[in-house]
Amino acid sequence: MKTSELTYVFPKDFWWGSASSATQMEGYSKADGKGPNIWDYWYETEPNRFFNGIGPNHTSQFYSRYEEDIKLLKETGHNSFRFSISWSRMFPEGRGKVNEKAVHFYNQVINRLLDNEIEPFVNLYHFDMPLALQNEGGWESRSVVEAYVEYAGTCFALFGDRVQKWFTHNEPIVPVECGYLYGHHYPAIVDFKKAVQVAFHSMLTSAKAIEKYRSLSLPGKIGIILNVTPSYPRSEHPADLDAAEKADLLFNRSFLDPSVKGEFPQKLVEMLEEEGFLPSYELGDLDIIRENTVDLLGINYYQPRRVKAKEHLPNRNAPFMPEFYFDTYDMPGKKVNPYRGWEIYEKGIFDILKNLQENYGNIECFISENGMGVENEERFINSEGIIQDEYRISFYKDHLKWVHQAIQEGANVKGYHVWTFVDNWSWLNAYKNRYGLVSVDLDQNYKRTIKQSGYWYKELATNNGF
Ligand code: BGP
């Protein structure tokens, strides 16, 4: 298609791709010397927590099928692809001796991607703490900070000659909220003070890994991936505005500011101090955070947060939660993905990008995840066996229009990655909601079939627009 026939044309060399994570797609959780991580452990001890009892050993088997998958990446138009390294595959005990079979596997993946002109984007941490380190306290513990830096440094040294886009964490708020506030991820603790410590350590480890990376003078960039949930107040009433600001400070700026500006927002520090929740830290930690900000920011966007002032005083006898500062509400008439229950608000992606442009030095960024999970997609299979997922194509187009608009207005956006490439296993929801451009048939040995959205994505990437 000629550029003149397209309505939305993206900048030259735009990164078209998708994101994935080790636990959600490698499978083989006990093979070739991999150590257990918190997901393997939780599944063994509490399998009923997982939808249909499917655990992390039954993810889409990328570990054995990566060659086939990389061909499919090519067929669906990818010029870039994010995966994460499994810390417990590299270091079965979390630190110490590196597992050579893991090194071989990741080398193969990186080399095959490069052979196919697909740039590897590598993330070091996607919710998968090695069990041995969780037993030391996981992200709460200072010893784990040092273990992470050792792991990151090893990955840079082994793969950094070829990998030129590195990410220290994916969505560091998720282990904080799911693991330490709302009980969705192991260790499923409810403890605000610990949650703050975990958040602080994720920022410290990110800065320390960046420092390590830069000391090696490798030829690439390093960043972090944050899920930003724009916080929209119910009204312009000062109390609603204040509530929305507090939600933004807790869920977004607690990671955005240290990652990009090298400091925590003063207002956030005051809020935490008032409740006695400041984390413990060592002399020099804040300097490390200040001096090691990111080159590049990945933005995962799924949904906004609708916020209003608290209507009742919080119950001081209940465990302290972020919702002590604000209430959320159901905005009348909002559009919702009925399967996942998440609001769909496309303009949110534009608001995030404009905020980065205006308040974060227009840092180089890309959309690192955006996607729609849908149940029972076999309903939409046509006579040729292809899932007709028109809804997903519309979802992407509707978001891409706003990404395009932000770029027109000067935002420094380099790419768009969808979640995700092949239907994969999702934390507690297992295979309930499917997100892929390619389907996986669990009854036919994980057979892959490109969906209509996969063909569309190829066209989008080839035309560099739509
Ligand atoms: C993001 C995570 C992904 C992925 C996605 C979809 O927050 O980075 O790992 O799972 O959300 O969410 P879910 O799988 O819970 O539907």
pLDDT in tens, 196-230: 999 999 999 999 999 999 999 999 999 999 999 99
Q: What is the mean pLDDT of the chain?
A: 97
Tokens 């066209």 sit at which residue?
Answer: 459
Band of the pLDDT at 437, cuts 50, 70, 90? very high
Distance 219 CA to ligand 1 centre (A): 30
N-terminal to C-terminal alpha carbon distance within the chain: 9
pLDDT, residue 5, reads 92
User: Which residue, by CA, sits nearest to atom 2 of ligand 1?
Assistant: 171
* Residue type at 46 in one-letter notation: E
pLDDT, residue 316, reads 85
Residue 401: enclosing H or E segment and its boundaries? helix 390-408
pLDDT, residue 2, reads 84
* CA-based max dimension of the chain: 65
Residue 7 pLDDT > 90, yes or no?
yes
Mutate to test the pocket of ligand 1, among 126, 427, 434 (most ligand atoms within 8 A of CB): 427
Band of the pLDDT at 272, cuts 50, 70, 90? very high
pLDDT, residue 1, reads 81
Ligand 1 pocket at CB < 6 A:
21, 24, 170-171, 227, 300, 340, 369, 373, 419, 426-427, 429, 433
Angle 361-322-192 (CA atoms, 0-180°, nearest 5)? 105
pLDDT, residue 76, reads 98
User: Which residue, by CA, sits nearest to atom 5 of ligand 1?
Assistant: 419
Mutate to test the pocket of ligand 1, among 25, 336, 419, 424 (most ligand atoms within 8 A of CB): 419
Band of the pLDDT at 313, cuts 50, 70, 90? confident
DSSP 56: G
Instruction: Point out the ligand 1 atom lying closest to the alpha carbon of residue 419.
Output: 5
pLDDT, residue 134, reads 98
pLDDT 10s digits, 292-310: 999 999 999 999 999 999 9
CB 80 within 8 A of CB 16: yes
Q: Which two tokens stand for residue 374?
A: 């849908």
Distance 302 CA to ligand 1 centre (A): 9
Q: Radius of gyration (Cα) for the chain, nearest Å?
A: 21
Q: Positive or negative CA dihedral for 443, 448, 451, 457?
A: positive
Angle 92-96-101 (CA atoms, 0-180°, nearest 5)? 50
Q: Which two tokens stand for residue 66?
A: 């990566």
pTM: 0.98
Residue 291 pLDDT > 90, yes or no?
yes
Distance 410 CA to ligand 1 centre (A): 29
Strand partners, 434: 374
Distance 24 CA to ligand 1 centre (A): 9
- Residue 213: give the domain boundaries: 3-463
Distance 372 CA to ligand 1 centre (A): 10
Distance 425 CA to ligand 1 centre (A): 9
Q: What is the mean pLDDT of residues 321-328?
A: 96
Q: What is the per-residue burial (b if ≥16 Cβ within 10 Å, else e) of 290-308? A: eebbbbbbbbbbbbbbbbb
Instruction: Give the closest residue to 177 by CA, choosing from 165, 194, 157.
Output: 194
The whole-angstrom separation of Cα 265 and Cα 245 is 12
Q: Which two tokens stand for residue 150?
A: 């050792």
What is the percent of the chain with per-residue pLDDT over 70, rounded to a whole number?
100
CATH number at residue 327: 3.20.20.80
pLDDT, residue 3, reads 85
Instruction: Point out the ligand 1 atom lying closest to the alpha carbon of residue 371.
Output: 6
Per the structure, the count of domains in the chain is 1
Instruction: Give the closest residue to 371 by CA, choosing from 250, 248, 453, 466.
Output: 453
pLDDT, residue 28, reads 97
CB 218 within 8 A of CB 241: no
Q: How many CB atoms lie within 10 A of CB 4?
A: 6
The whole-angstrom separation of Cα 452 and Cα 34 is 35
- Active-site amino acid positions: 171, 369
The whole-angstrom separation of Cα 269 and Cα 278 is 7
Instruction: Point out the ligand 1 atom lying closest to the alpha carbon of residue 340.
Output: 16
3-state secondary structure of 380: helix
Q: Which two tokens stand for residue 69?
A: 């998958």
User: Which residue, by CA, sits nearest to atom 13 of ligand 1?
Assistant: 426
State the complex-level ipTM.
0.97
User: Which residue, by CA, sits nearest to atom 15 of ligand 1?
Assistant: 426
Residue 168: enclosing H or E segment and its boundaries? strand 165-170
Mutate to test the pocket of ligand 1, among 20, 177, 426, 433 (most ligand atoms within 8 A of CB): 426
pLDDT, residue 344, reads 98
Instruction: Point out the ligand 1 atom lying closest to the alpha carbon of residue 225.
Output: 8
